[in-house]
């Protein structure tokens, strides 16, 4: 028996609907059709009236969820693709994110963003939006990289009394499998980064699908005798600076990898924190690797050269190790 | 004061003189308060914007007096002081928010017309126009999930706000969900300085209602009795399962966009049309004409309003301002997820 990353997301939603009568799901094509990626397959059948198709109105979808949340419901909004959350940007950053601060009334909701690139998806179905949302106070931004995290972090997100941006990676939906879900005792709480692979020569700090590219790069370099530590941030906001600093303290070298565009963003944030708080720990200038600073290309050949991969991460690590 | 039976001359069916008087009371209170707030702004006592509902009090108050406090939802916009008060907002909430008291509902974190008490059915507006409509839709849906089916949600907007995508998306969503929503559009002829001929090209904004599958009404927004009648009907229709209701009030903003704006671009030619009549004066005159109140009773009301405003403003001015050292600076309800122990955050 095995479970995919996508199935874990569906299982988490099933459990939340079962256990909490305040949970409902709202999004495009999610009811009878089960969602563009089938993350809500059969949920409308199993939970009548609680999995609702929305019009193609991302702004109103978010406003609707916010209104329900401030009345005490626990809405989950499925954006069909993370890219389309740009239409809901205003409601997310100005309404949901400011609500508790302004009024003292919590706004507990989860926005599920099918994020990141897949071959052939092009500029408008491939984006990684986590840095944009992390910029705004009042939001929690999560980027699960594993099947177990997809499950437990989504369940925990639904319990959080604040708006949560849940960035699930489309590339992992079908390809990433686990034998079984971790038990509740094995789960790592939101806000803690995970040392996915221990090493002593350099740290790769990354998140989401790039964790798996970094692990492949670490495998490659292991053949040359290098032990690369891979840190999975899991949560972009809050960001577990302590675990990152501890890793850099062990290795002295830092590469930060993200699939999002390079300007600003998570990779810049991590490097800013490490250089400000752990400059003395560094034996080499910290490096970062992002997607290229162009829109995301459609053709698989171009796309493969646009985002970081195991090969480009390996190359960046070689430079870092050679400093 | 004179108590009056139903269906008096000068009043539409179903609107009592008592309800007219109630509407007038909140119009008067709002005007009195806003005149004071504007004076405080011009004397430098208020930081930030001041937005007035002058000329829109009848339309705003009439909607809110048709709602059930503690049960319905009212999401006001920037010119709804009268509606806010009619829905039960404490005069101190207004004074404290404008004057920056830490004791106000926003504690100095937000100001002026952005105040609200969502737990009392009054969400706190954001500045982005149209954004509150879908929020009210979601609040209504939450009530339905909880088995409460007779809550009405009302919200206000202006002619300019109808041009936003948020307005369109939310009206369409409300109709798809057949929600008990009442949208009051104060067609006050100017969005900041932009006249309606640069805002929309349809013949009448109410024509949009049918396009959404909503029921639409057009009313003289200077006429309190007519506003009470139309909102009474719209709220009843919404409450009894007839889906979203759109009410367009035709009136003129009798001031600038904010206290900082003298509105000098508003031509005299429109001020002298029926749109430019002062709803408060019209309502007052009507009460005298129909002998629902005497001159002395009205003067007593005006004196009481002035006294209430004076007391609220005096109290707010005595209140402490927010102290940056005492502010928590915590934007999350989930305290354990705050990053507070790193110098770079």
Q: What pLDDT sits at residue B4?
A: 47
Q: What pLDDT sits at residue B345?
A: 58
Find out whether A59 and B165 touch, Cβ atoms under 8 Å: yes
Is there a single domain that holds both residue A133 and residue A216? no
CA closest to A24 among chain B residues: B145
Measured between CB atoms, does B332 come within 8 Å of chain A? yes
pLDDT over 80 at B281, yes or no: yes
Positive or negative, the Cα torsion across B73, B79, B81, B82? negative
CA B288 to chain centre: 26
Phi-psi region of A229 (alpha: psi -120 to 50; beta: other; left: phi over 0): beta
pLDDT over 70 at B3, yes or no: no
Residue B112 sits at φ, ψ, to 5 deg, of: 40, -115
At residue B164 the predicted structure's pLDDT band, cuts being 50, 70 and 90, is very high
What is the three-class DSSP state of A281? helix
Say which residues have a Cβ less than 8 Å from residue B180's Cβ, sequence separation at least 6: B140, B150, B151, B152, B153, B238, B239, B241, B243, B244
Tell me the chain B residues in contact with residue A68 when contact means C-beta distances shorter than 8 Å.
138-139, 141-142, 145
Domain that holds residue B90: 19-337
CATH number for the domain harbouring residue B256: 3.40.50.970
Is there a single domain that holds both residue A137 and residue A15? yes
Q: What pLDDT sits at residue B339?
A: 87
Find out whether A60 and A51 touch, Cβ atoms under 8 Å: no
Other residues' Cβ atoms within 10 Å of the Cβ of residue A198 = 11
Q: Are the beta carbons of A60 and B176 separated by less than 8 Å? A: no
pLDDT over 90 at B262, yes or no: yes
Residue A265 sits at φ, ψ, to 5 deg, of: 90, -170
The tokens of A159 are what? 């319990």
pLDDT over 80 at A314, yes or no: yes
pLDDT over 60 at A193, yes or no: yes
Is there a single domain that holds both residue A14 and residue A161? yes
Residue A27 sits at φ, ψ, to 5 deg, of: 175, 180
CATH number for the domain harbouring residue A203: 3.40.50.920
In a domain, B344, yes or no: no
Q: How far apart are CA B101 and CA B98, in angstroms?
A: 8
In a domain, B2, yes or no: no
Give me the mean pLDDT over the A167-183 stretch. 96
Find out whether A230 and A206 touch, Cβ atoms under 8 Å: yes
Measured between CB atoms, does B163 come within 8 Å of chain A? no
Summarize pLDDT for B102-157 with one digit per residue, the tens: 999 999 999 999 999 999 999 999 999 999 999 999 999 999 999 999 999 999 99
In a domain, A188, yes or no: no
Q: What pLDDT sits at residue B343?
A: 61
In a domain, A213, yes or no: yes
Give me the mean pLDDT over the B258-281 stretch. 96
**Among the partner residues A24, A101, A277, nearest to B344 by beta-carbon distance:** A277
Catalytic residue (one of A125, A201, A212, A306): A125
Is there a single domain that holds both residue A209 and residue A316? yes
In a domain, A187, yes or no: no
Burial A168-178 (b: 16+ CB within 10 A, else e): bbbbbbeebeb
In a domain, B220, yes or no: yes
Tell me, what's the ipTM?
0.97
pLDDT over 90 at B9, yes or no: no
Q: Are the beta carbons of A60 and B170 separated by less than 8 Å? A: yes
Other residues' Cβ atoms within 10 Å of the Cβ of residue B9 = 6
Is there a single domain that holds both residue A10 and residue A101? yes
- Stretch 119-138 of chain B: residues touching chain A, C-beta under 8 Å: 119, 123-124, 126-128, 131-138
Q: What pLDDT sits at residue B1?
A: 46
Tell me the chain A residues in contact with residue B143 when contact means C-beta distances shorter than 8 Å.
71
In a domain, B118, yes or no: yes
Measured between CB atoms, does B329 come within 8 Å of chain A? no
Number of Cα atoms under 13 Å in the Cβ half of residue A283: 16
Tell me the chain A residues in contact with residue B119 when contact means C-beta distances shorter than 8 Å.
105
In a domain, A184, yes or no: no
Measured between CB atoms, does B5 come within 8 Å of chain A? no
- If you write DSSP's letter for every residue of A14-44 in order, what string do you get? HHHHHH-TTEEEEETT-STT--TT-TTTTHH
Summarize pLDDT for A96-144 with one digit per residue, the tens: 999 999 999 999 999 999 999 999 999 999 999 999 999 999 999 999 9
pLDDT over 80 at B202, yes or no: yes
Is there a single domain that holds both residue A84 and residue A200? no
Is there a single domain that holds both residue A310 and residue A268? yes
Domains held by chain B: number: 1
**Among the partner residues A64, A106, A276, nearest to B141 by beta-carbon distance:** A64
Question: Closest approach of chain B CAs to the CA of A212, in angstroms?
Answer: 26
Q: Are the beta carbons of A102 and B343 separated by less than 8 Å? A: no
Is there a single domain that holds both residue A137 and residue A212? no
**Among the partner residues A55, A68, A87, nearest to B173 by beta-carbon distance:** A55
Give me the mean pLDDT over the B257-285 stretch. 97
Percent of chain B with pLDDT over 90: 94
pLDDT over 90 at B341, yes or no: no
Backbone Cα Rg of chain B: 20
Q: Are the beta carbons of A160 and B337 separated by less than 8 Å? A: yes
Find out whether A69 and B138 touch, Cβ atoms under 8 Å: yes
Is there a single domain that holds both residue A171 and residue A204? no
Q: What pLDDT sits at residue A81?
A: 98
The tokens of A264 are what? 């600003």
Residue A223 sits at φ, ψ, to 5 deg, of: -65, -25
In a domain, B180, yes or no: yes
Long-range contacts of B269-278 (CB under 8 A, 24+ apart): B270/B189, B274/B220, B274/B222, B275/B189, B275/B222, B275/B250, B275/B251, B276/B55, B276/B252, B277/B222, B278/B55, B278/B222, B278/B254
Question: Closest approach of chain B CAs to the CA of A276, in angstroms?
Answer: 7
End-of-domain residue from the set A149, A178, A207:
A178
Domain that holds residue A314: 194-321
Percent of chain A with pLDDT over 70: 100
Question: Closest approach of chain B CAs to the CA of A317, in angstroms?
Answer: 26
What is the three-class DSSP state of B19? helix
Q: How far apart are CA A284 and CA B10, in angstroms?
A: 85
Q: Are the beta carbons of B331 and A137 separated by less than 8 Å? A: yes
Q: Are the beta carbons of A75 and B126 separated by less than 8 Å? A: no
pLDDT over 80 at B321, yes or no: yes
Find out whether A62 and A99 touch, Cβ atoms under 8 Å: no
A125 is catalytic: yes
Is there a single domain that holds both residue A206 and residue A174? no
Q: Are the beta carbons of A90 and B133 separated by less than 8 Å? A: no
Domains held by chain A: number: 2
In a domain, A189, yes or no: no
Q: Are the beta carbons of B142 and A273 separated by less than 8 Å? A: no
Residue A236 sits at φ, ψ, to 5 deg, of: -80, -35
In a domain, B342, yes or no: no
Is there a single domain that holds both residue A61 and residue A96? yes
Give me the mean pLDDT over the B247-261 stretch. 97
Is there a single domain that holds both residue A168 and residue A203? no
**Among the partner residues B110, B137, B337, nearest to A67 by beta-carbon distance:** B137
**Among the partner residues B118, B127, B166, nearest to A105 by beta-carbon distance:** B118
CATH number for the domain harbouring residue A97: 3.40.50.970
């Amino acid at each position: 028996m095995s479970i995919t990353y996508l199935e874990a997301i569906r299982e988490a939603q099933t459990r939340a609907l079962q256990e909490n009568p305040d949970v409902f799901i709202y999004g495009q094509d999610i009811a009878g059709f089960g969602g563009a990626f089938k993350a809500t397959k059969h949920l409308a059948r199993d939970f009548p009236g609680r999995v609702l198709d929305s019009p193609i109105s991302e702004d109103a979808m978010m406003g609707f969820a916010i209104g329900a949340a401030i009345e005490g419901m626990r809405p989950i909004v499925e954006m069909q693709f993370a890219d389309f959350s740009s239409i809901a940007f205003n409601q997310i950053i100005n309404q949901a994110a400011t609500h508790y601060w302004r009024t003292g009334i919590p706004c507990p909701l989860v926005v599920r963003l099918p994020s990141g690139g897949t071959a052939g998806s092009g500029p408008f179905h491939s984006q990684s939006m986590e840095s944009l949302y992390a910029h705004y106070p009042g939001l929690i931004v999560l980027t699960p990289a594993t099947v177990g995290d997809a499950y437990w972090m989504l369940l925990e997100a639904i319990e959080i009394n604040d708006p949560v941006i849940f960035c699930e990676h489309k590339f992992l939906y079908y390809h990433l499998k686990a034998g079984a879900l971790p038990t509740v005792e094995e789960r790592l709480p939101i806000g803690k980064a995970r040392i996915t692979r221990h090493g002593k020569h350099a740290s790769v700090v990354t998140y989401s699908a790039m964790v798996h590219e970094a692990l492949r790069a670490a495998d490659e370099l292991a053949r040359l005798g290098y032990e690369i530590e891979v840190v999975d941030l899991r949560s972009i906001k809050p960001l577990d600076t302590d675990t990152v600093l501890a890793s850099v303290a062990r290795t002295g070298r830092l590469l930060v990898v993200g699939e999002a565009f390079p300007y600003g963003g998570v990779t810049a944030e991590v490097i800013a924190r490490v250089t400000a708080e752990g400059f003395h720990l560094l034996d080499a200038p910290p490096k970062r690797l992002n997607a290229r600073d162009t829109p995301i290309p459609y053709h698989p050949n171009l796309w493969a050269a646009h985002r970081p991969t195991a090969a480009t991460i390996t190359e960046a690590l070689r430079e870092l190790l050679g400093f | 004061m004179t108590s009056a039976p139903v269906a008096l001359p000068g009043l539409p069916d179903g609107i009592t003189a008592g309800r007219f008087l109630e509407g007038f009371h909140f119009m008067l209170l709002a005007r009195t308060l806003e005149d004071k707030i504007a004076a405080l702004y011009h004397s430098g006592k208020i930081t930030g914007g001041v937005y007035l509902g002058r000329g829109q009090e009848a339309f705003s108050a009439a909607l809110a007096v048709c709602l059930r406090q503690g049960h319905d939802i009212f999401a006001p916009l920037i010119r709804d002081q009268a509606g806010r008060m009619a829905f039960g907002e404490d005069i101190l909430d207004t004074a404290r928010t404008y004057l920056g008291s830490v004791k106000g509902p926003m504690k100095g974190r937000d100001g002026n017309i952005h105040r609200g008490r969502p737990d009392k059915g009054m969400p706190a507006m954001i500045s982005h126009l149209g954004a509150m409509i879908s929020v009210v839709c979601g609040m209504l849906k939450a009530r339905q999930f909880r088995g409460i089916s007779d809550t009405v949600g009302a919200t206000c907007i202006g002619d300019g706000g109808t041009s936003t995508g948020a307005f369109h998306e939310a009206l369409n969503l409300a109709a798809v969900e057949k929600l008990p929503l009442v949208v009051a559009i104060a067609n006050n002829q100017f969005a900041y300085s932009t006249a309606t001929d640069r805002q929309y090209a349809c013949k009448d904004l109410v024509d949009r209602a049918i396009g959404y599958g909503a029921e639409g009404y057009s009313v003289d927004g200077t006429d309190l009795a007519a506003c009470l009648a139309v909102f009474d009907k719209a709220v009843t229709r919404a409450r009894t399962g007839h889906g979203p209701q759109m009410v367009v009030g035709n009136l003129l903003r009798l001031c600038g966009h904010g206290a900082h704006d003298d509105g000098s671009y508003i031509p005299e030619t429109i001020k002298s049309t029926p749109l430019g009549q002062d709803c408060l004066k019209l309502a007052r005159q009507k009460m005298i004409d129909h002998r629902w109140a005497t001159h002395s009773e009205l003067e007593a009301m005006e004196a009481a309003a002035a006294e209430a405003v004076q007391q609220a403003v005096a109290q707010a001015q005595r209140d402490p301002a927010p102290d940056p050292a005492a502010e928590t600076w915590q934007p999350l309800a989930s305290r354990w997820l705050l990053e507070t122990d790193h110098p770079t955050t």
